[in-house]
Structure 1
Amino acid sequence: MTSNDDKDWRQITTKEAFVRNFVDKVLVGDGMEFTIHSDGRMSGLINGEVLTGSWYWSGKFFCRTAMWRGEDLGLDCETIEARRSQMRYTRDKGRGEALVVEIKQP
């Protein structure tokens, strides 16, 4: 990714903006297909294995707990950025691994 592309990302800092952009939409990328539901649940598949969890907004962070392949992935609060139909989330309050998913088009 070029630094010019990086400038297109805008950080989502409110729950309202997060909900407007990404909630109740199917998100796909890198073997993942999941939905962050408006009722606080998360559901989907990662590499064909069931993902379940819950989420809430805290300050400027998306926080989630998740289970995958029977393993508790624990609590993680992440920074969220948007670019067109993409979402980039960076684990550990922006200090960890960053992953990009895209809103699945019908």
Structure 2
Amino acid sequence: MRFIFALAATAVLALSGLPAAAEYARIQSKSDFVAAVNGKKLTRPLVNLQVTSGGVISGKGAVWEVTGTWTWKDGFFCRTLVWGGKDLGYNCQVVMRDGAKIRFTSDKGAGESAVLTLR
């Protein structure tokens, strides 16, 4: 659980019912990522996050506050994250999108994934 709860508790990984990977398209650039998340909330059960174009992550994961910062580096979403006072550290992630679903996969795509809905 690095990103989404590490972006949200990476955020509470319940990956059942994921569409086939072929339905997701990788977000390759910072501008495409910002266009996808700008002004939207990233949600899943018990998770409500906002990722701003200015590099700030904020919200709630379960009942605990989530704060952090992010940058775009070499095609990856790289973030620091604190959840409920616990430092989840720095991690670079692959970001993929399928309509209103956005999937973050930790460790440059080699780790755990979390899917959130853009609202």
TM-score for both structures, normalised by structure 2: 0.81
Larger radius of gyration: 1
Measured in 1, the distance between the counterparts of 2:36 and 2:84 equals: 28
Could you report, residue by residue, the CA deviation over 1:21-79 in whole angstroms, capped at 9, with x for unpaired residues? 11331010142110001111100000021000000000110000011111111000000
More relative contact order in 1 or in 2 (CA 8 Å, sep 6+)? 2
1:60 is aligned to 2:75: yes
The equivalent position to 1:92 in structure 2, one of 107, 113, 116, is: 107
> Separation in 2 of the partners of 1:5 and 1:97?
16
Counterpart code for 1:33: N
Deviates more, 1:15-24 or 1:94-103: 15-24
Structure whose residues are more often strand by fraction: 1
Equivalent residue for 1:39, pick from 54, 60, 63: 54
Contact persistence 2:69–2:79 (CA under 8 A): yes
CA RMSD of aligned residues (A): 1.4
2:43 counterpart residue number: 28
2:98 counterpart residue number: 83
Structure 2: which amino acid aligns with 1:21? Answer: A
- Aligned-partner residue type, residue 30 of structure 2: K
Aligned residue-pair number: 103
Structure 2 unaligned regions, length at least 5? 1-16
**5+ unaligned residues in a row in structure 1: which ranges?**
none
Counterpart in the other structure of 1:51 = 66
Identity, % of aligned pairs?
Answer: 32
Separation in 1, partners of 2:78, 2:34: 13
SS in 2 for 1:93: helix
Give the ranges of 4+ consecutive aligned residues of structure 1 lying more than 4 Å apart after TM superposition: none
